[in-house]
């Protein structure tokens, strides 16, 4: 994930949304940026003064070209720095009500529809994204990691 300055309490807030078509396919971003490359869902940083849901709707539009009228919460992923206590908190959403045609892609990467089973078994997932999928698909509502503040690996804890 890109480096951003934490909010006053040492937390960084992000969002990610699983956009689901009527036929059950999900909208996937083949992210090309080096900080989190591979297959993932649209998402990004919550801007100062922006609600979590509004940030998700904005990110979907910016990365896919689709206009989403609402998002439904799926759960939360958060990482806690063992030394500083800083938090990286990601709000996960699902969207089924959208308009428009997907874009050919942006500086983030190419977007396309994919069968969920094909996504789950893909060898091209972004780092740790496989750990997010049980939350998106309703098996859990929270994923928590403790981390060392440098690498994004840790022991996942689901709730």
Q: Could you tell me what percentage of the chain is helix, strand and coil, using 3-state DSSP and rounding each to the nearest 5?
A: 15, 40, 45
The structure tokens 């990691």 sit at: 145
Q: Compute CA 148 distance to the chain's CA centroid, rounded to the nearest angstrom.
A: 21
Relative to beta strand 72-81, strand 87-95 is antiparallel
What does the pLDDT look like over 96-149, one tens digit per residue? 999 999 998 788 899 999 999 999 999 999 988 999 999 999 999 999 988 776
What does the pLDDT look like over 29-38, one tens digit per residue? 999 987 789 9
What does the pLDDT look like over 39-97, one tens digit per residue? 999 999 999 999 999 999 999 999 999 999 999 999 999 988 888 888 889 999 999 99
Neighbour-count burial for 39-70, b at 16+ CB within 10 Å, e otherwise: bbbbbbbbeeeeebbebbbbbbbebbbbebee
């Amino acid at each position: 994930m890109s480096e951003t300055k934490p909010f006053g309490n040492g937390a960084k807030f992000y969002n990610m949304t699983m956009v689901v078509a009527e036929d059950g396919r999900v909208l996937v971003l083949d992210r090309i940026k080096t900080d989190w490359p591979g297959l993932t869902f649209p998402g990004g940083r919550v801007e100062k003064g922006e609600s979590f849901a509004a940030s998700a709707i904005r990110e979907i539009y910016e990365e896919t070209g689709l206009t989403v009228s609402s998002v439904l919460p799926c759960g939360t992923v958060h990482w806690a720095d063992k030394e500083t206590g800083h938090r990286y908190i990601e709000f996960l959403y699902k969207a089924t009500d959208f308009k428009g045609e997907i874009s050919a892609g942006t500086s983030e990467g190419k977007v396309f529809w994919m069968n969920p089973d094909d996504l789950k078994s893909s060898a091209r997932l972004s780092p740790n994204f496989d750990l997010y999928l049980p939350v998106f698909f309703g098996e859990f509502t929270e994923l928590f990691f403790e981390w060392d503040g440098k690498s994004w690996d840790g022991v996942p804890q689901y709730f």
